[in-house]
Amino acid sequence: MRAKSMLKKASVALTVAAGLSLATSANAMKLKKQNLEELTSASQNIIAGEVIKVTDGFDNKRPYTEVTIAVNSDAKGKLKDDSTYTFRQFGLLKPRSMGNGKVYLGVTPDGFAKWNEGENVIAFMYKPASITGFQTTAGMAQGKFVVRDGKVVNQFANTGLFEDMDTSKFSDEERNMLTNPGAVKVDVFMNLIGKLAGGQQ
């Protein structure tokens, strides 16, 4: 009887995990594509800095990942340079044993940004949720860019990032960046964000 009960519990856990996986995958597929102008407009802060701490836990039984970024700059001008910015995003880093034979499966859903200590990022931070205080990047994973070798790229290889944008006031270098998909030069990217953010204030 005990073996049957354990098998039944394992089967239920797998079914729940499969359901969560399908649901989050479906949500990721429905992700509304946003260009750089839209991401900039939707952001409360646009932080360039290094991820210095990533932990997870529970807040009122709600799973979260807590991220701390050492701020180099904020294109919206609301955060001080050399400060730190900490926020909590929904979901755990990985499934967690609850110590009673159960495993909690509420990890960060597909489509959300994933964070790693030591990453240099440009994070387009959406405003915190009114009830939970949880926060994520504007456009979900579209709004988190990793800086490597002087170039920036998001989880979707910058696909659609420059579509339907008015380029009449852009420099030749900025226009060139817009017509070349994939990773782009960080200095040109940041200058363009500064222009867009300045025009929206």
Q: Identify the residue whose tokens are 């990047």.
A: 137
**How far apart are the C-alpha atoms of 195 and 50, rounded to whole Å?**
23
**How far apart are the C-alpha atoms of 188 and 30, rounded to whole Å?**
30
| 87-99 residue pLDDT tens | 999 999 999 988 8
| 126-147 residue pLDDT tens | 999 999 999 999 999 999 999 9
Predicted confidence (pLDDT) at residue 7 exceeds the cutoff of 50: no
pLDDT class for 167, splitting at 50, 70, 90?
A: confident
**How far apart are the C-alpha atoms of 106 and 170, rounded to whole Å?**
43
**How far apart are the C-alpha atoms of 143 and 151, rounded to whole Å?**
15
| 72-88 residue pLDDT tens | 999 999 999 999 999 99
How many CB atoms are located within 10 Å of the residue 88 CB? 22
Q: Within the chain, what is the greatest distance between any pair of CA atoms?
A: 73
Predicted confidence (pLDDT) at residue 39 exceeds the cutoff of 50: yes
